[in-house]
Structures are given as structure tokens and as C-alpha cells.
Amino acid sequence: MKTIAIDFETANEQRGSACSVGLAWIEEGRVTRVEERLIRPRDMRFSGMNIAIHGIRPEDVEDAPEFPEVMDEFNDDFRGATMIAHNAAFDFSVWRASLDLYRQSYPELTYLCSLKMAQRIWPHFLSHRLNLIAEHLGLRFMHHNAAEDAAVCAAAAIEMAKAVKAKAVEAIPALIGMTPGRLMARGYAPCTCRKA
């Protein structure tokens, strides 16, 4: 099984305005590959608030490919993979909204939310934001850089697997009462946790 962490940054408040994607591959309990791609949103409207968060400006993406071309590069990687994102509800809504914008069907895949996993596995943390989890784990990174966010999400998931003695990240849900989310051609199902 392969697991890939994913993180999107958006140009504005619209979910279909992805301007960057980061990916981090987990194999045999370690991060083996990290990629980042800039994306030219169909609507080149960048909000000041979003620029302040991630630092990506319109001129940075004016020569970048649009969403379908960027994501098509990774189609073979996504096939059969378990995806994971920190606050998956956001990242997978960006993915769905962007596919909807280009009238493309959803890929068939399973996904996990590392935020929900962290809340269940480390309930004593005061916050489960990615930067604070990274700090707790002694990981240094540039927050809101899509590649670095994906890499830290992957590293945190590996540590969570160790914490619950799971053989792999994709085995965590069965141990913590999580139902993985699903993207499928006809729609999606969110990632959920049973009430403790």
C-alpha cells in the first residue's frame, strides 16, 4: 500500500482557486519523495489575506499550468493510494471544487484526516494545528508552503502510526474508530471518527 499526503493553497476564498499543491509519499514508514507544483487558477483573483498566508502572488503562477494538467501528472501515483491531509475537509473540498470547475470526474480513492487522527491519538495537545504538532515532534518547516505542509503531515502520520502501534499509516483508522473518506466518480464520503 502507498500513502500520499497532500496539501493545497488557494488564491482566494473560493475552494476552486488552488494555486499550489504539495505531495509527500510515505513508503515503509518514511517520507521518500516530496513534490510541489504551482497552479494557475482559472480566475486569477488573489486575495491579500491568502497572499499573506502563503506568499504566492499572481505573477508567480502566470506561466504555471492549470489544475487539470498539474494533477494529471500524478494520476498513476494516486491510483490505489491512500491519501492523507491535515484538515482533509478543506483540502478535499479544494480538490472537488477544482474538478467541478473543469467538469472533471472525481478519482476513486480513499483518504484520511491527520487532524482528526491527532485529536484522537494525542488528546492532551492544547492544539492540533499542523505547526504545533510539528513543534511537538521537533520538526522545523515553513508553514503554508504546500510541499512542506504535506511533508510534515506525512511525518506526523508516521509518528501517529508508531504511537498506536499500527504497522502502517493506512492501518490507523481501524485502531482509533475512524472511517476513511472516499472520493468516487459519483461523489464523496467524508472522513469521520466514532464518538469516543
Return the CATH number at 21. Answer: 3.30.420.10
Give the span between the Cα atoms of 25 and 115, in whole angstroms.
Answer: 18
At 102-130, the pLDDT tens digits run 999 999 999 999 999 999 999 999 899 99
Give the span between the Cα atoms of 30 and 76, in whole angstroms.
Answer: 20
Angle between helices 146-163 and 114-121 (to 10 degrees): 40
Give the span between the Cα atoms of 80 and 4, in whole angstroms.
Answer: 10
Tally the domains of the chain. Answer: 1
Phi and psi of 121, rounded to 5°? -85, -35
At 126-173, the pLDDT tens digits run 899 999 999 999 988 888 899 999 999 999 999 999 999 999 999 999
Domain with 112, as residue range(s), is 2-193
Q: What is the pTM of this model?
A: 0.96
Give the span between the Cα atoms of 23 and 84, in whole angstroms.
Answer: 10
Assigned C-alpha cell, 126: 492544547
